[in-house]
Amino acid sequence: MKGLILGGGKGTRLRPLTLNTPKPIVPVANRPFLLYQIDLMKTAGIDEIILSLAYLPRKIEDLLKDGADFDVRVRYAVESEPLGTAGAFKNAEEWIDEPAVVFNGDVLTSLDLPAVIAAHRERGAVATIVLTPVDDPSAYGLVEHDDDGRVTRFLEKPDMDAITSNQINAGTYVLEPRVFEHIPGGRPYSFERELFPALLEAGLPVYAYTSDCYWIDIGTPRHYLEAHMDILAGRFHSPSIPPTTLETGGVENDASIDERSLIAPGVSIGRGARIASSVIGPSCRIREGARVVDSVVWPGATIEEHASVTGSILGRSCSVGRSAVLRSGTVLGGMSSITDFSSL
Ligand code: GDD
Ligand code: MG
């Protein structure tokens, strides 16, 4: 079984965070996001993973290299122009001569991947699509299936009046190499809008695997923050999340840091500062009396005296001035500088 991760989207909904950092490697709990997906692939014994990239591929290649640091073999299939989800898969055809697990590169999940693969084999499917329930399917791909789990309809981003269930495409597939025959080469092609409807039209066995495991698409600021709150509350668990290791001298005695928060190495926290339910990246400086609550702060930020940051995401190396107030929903791009006493 091969693995392929689709990571070529521009991440527009996560801008400005993705202007310099492609979505597959935005930090999640102080770890590049892709590593969670690699962990999951490994649970199914997959040790060769193709990264399908188009946007800022070098940043991802520089981080993962040949995968040796992460105990997998990583190959890169880079598109000069985005080829769409199925076109990107086709672009890696030369490396895939056996069934493959394909992930959308922005889904955090505790899916039982070996069980999905077993179900795929048992049913003799050409494609198995993992489904998950959500409150509002309109932002996803709606999938209908019969009582035996055979998919009968795939409808991407349905209009409100076309919503027939709450089961959506979770962005995880097992695909037989024969689906390549149904994907035209060298031009953009979509799994969701073209390939899946075409396989159904051709009467091929496409099956659903319904899971109610933890699942979230981190591709919007709201969901990115929500994924962090879920991690801090223990709703998503990974043994690989780096624990807080406070260095002696880095934290003043009367600073308050709740047990949930994750603080990376090299962070300094001043007197009377308060951190609650937040993730603080490496080398951040939180000055005297500052508060950071329900927030995610990327590496290298400075939050000055008595500033207050709530429900916010701060990109790399931001600076928040003295007594500035950042309220819920604030998203700062990398290197942003917020002047003293500002209120956002
Ligand atoms: N290589 C490559 N080339 N990757 C691409 C391209 C491309 O042209 N276009 C998109 N991708 C990657 C993105 O980087 C992302 O990891 C994944 O494909 C899905 O793209 P999104 O832009 O995040 O799609 P979505 O979230 O709106 O919808 C998709 O995911 C939903 C689940 O989160 C669809 O698959 C829906 O059906 C699904 O419900
Ligand atoms: Mg997405």
Binding site membership of 137 for ligand 1 (Cβ less than 6 Å):
no
Check: CB of residue 28 under 8 Å from CB of residue 238. Answer: no
Are 49 and 123 in a shared domain? yes
Mean pLDDT for 45-53 is: 97
Are 213 and 264 in a shared domain? no
Say how far apart CA 194 and CA 192 lie, in whole Å. 6
Write the CATH number for 323.
2.160.10.10
Quote the pLDDT of residue 291. 98
Question: Which residue, judged by its Cα, is nearest atom 25 of ligand 1?
Answer: 140
Ligand 1 atom nearest the C-alpha of 9 is 14
Instruction: Count the domains in the chain.
Output: 2
Mean pLDDT for 214-231 is: 98
Quote the pLDDT of residue 248. 72
Mean pLDDT for 209-229 is: 98
Are 219 and 276 in a shared domain? no
234-247 per-position pLDDT tens digit: 999 999 999 998 87
Last-in-domain residue among 180, 208, 224: 224
Say how far apart CA 314 and CA 139 lie, in whole Å. 25
Ligand 1 centroid–CA 192 distance in Å is: 9
Per-residue DSSP letters for 251-288?
Answer: B-TT-EE-SS-EE-TT-EE-TT-EEES-EE-TT-EE-T
Residue 169 lies in a domain: yes
Are 214 and 256 in a shared domain? no
Quote the pLDDT of residue 106. 97
pLDDT band at 231 (very low <50, low <70, confident <90, very high): very high
Token pair listed for 118: 């077993």
Q: How many beta carbons lie within 10 A of that of residue 287, not counting itself?
A: 19
99-131 per-position pLDDT tens digit: 999 999 999 999 999 999 999 999 999 999 999
Are 120 and 202 in a shared domain? yes
Residue ranges making up the domain that contains 187: 2-224
Last-in-domain residue among 190, 224, 258: 224
Ligand 1 atom nearest the C-alpha of 191 is 35
Residue 256 lies in a domain: yes
Quote the pLDDT of residue 83. 96
Are 203 and 57 in a shared domain? yes
Token pair listed for 275: 């951190």
Quote the pLDDT of residue 202. 96
DSSP label of 37: H
Residue 54 lies in a domain: yes
120-161 per-position pLDDT tens digit: 999 999 999 999 999 999 999 999 999 999 999 999 999 999
Are 59 and 105 in a shared domain? yes
Quote the pLDDT of residue 247. 77
Write the CATH number for 64.
3.90.550.10
Are 201 and 274 in a shared domain? no
**Nearest alpha carbon to residue 55 among 11, 85, 96:** 11
Residue 208 lies in a domain: yes
Residue 237 lies in a domain: no
Burial class (CB in 10 A: 0-12, 13-18, 19+), 187: exposed
Residue 268 lies in a domain: yes
Are 201 and 268 in a shared domain? no
Quote the pLDDT of residue 253. 73
Question: Which residue, judged by its Cα, is nearest atom 1 of ligand 1?
Answer: 8
Mean pLDDT for 167-190 is: 97
Binding site membership of 106 for ligand 1 (Cβ less than 6 Å):
yes
Q: Is the pLDDT of residue 186 over 90?
A: no
Question: Which residue, judged by its Cα, is nearest atom 11 of ligand 1?
Answer: 9
Check: CB of residue 182 under 8 Å from CB of residue 93. Answer: no
Are 69 and 182 in a shared domain? yes
Question: Which residue, judged by its Cα, is nearest atom 2 of ligand 1?
Answer: 8
The percent of residues above 90 in pLDDT, for the chain, comes to: 95
Are 212 and 124 in a shared domain? yes
Residue 344 lies in a domain: no
Are 207 and 283 in a shared domain? no
Q: Over the chain, what is the mean pLDDT?
A: 96
pLDDT band at 205 (very low <50, low <70, confident <90, very high): very high
Last-in-domain residue among 224, 240, 256: 224
Quote the pLDDT of residue 309. 98
Check: CB of residue 249 under 8 Å from CB of residue 219. Answer: no
Residues whose CB is less than 8 angstroms from the CB of residue 324 and which lie 6 or more positions away in sequence, other chains included:
304, 307, 308, 338, 339, 340, 341, 342, 343, 344
Ligand 1 centroid–CA 85 distance in Å is: 6
Residue 238 lies in a domain: no
Mean pLDDT for 310-337 is: 98
248-289 per-position pLDDT tens digit: 777 877 899 999 999 999 999 999 999 999 999 999 999 999
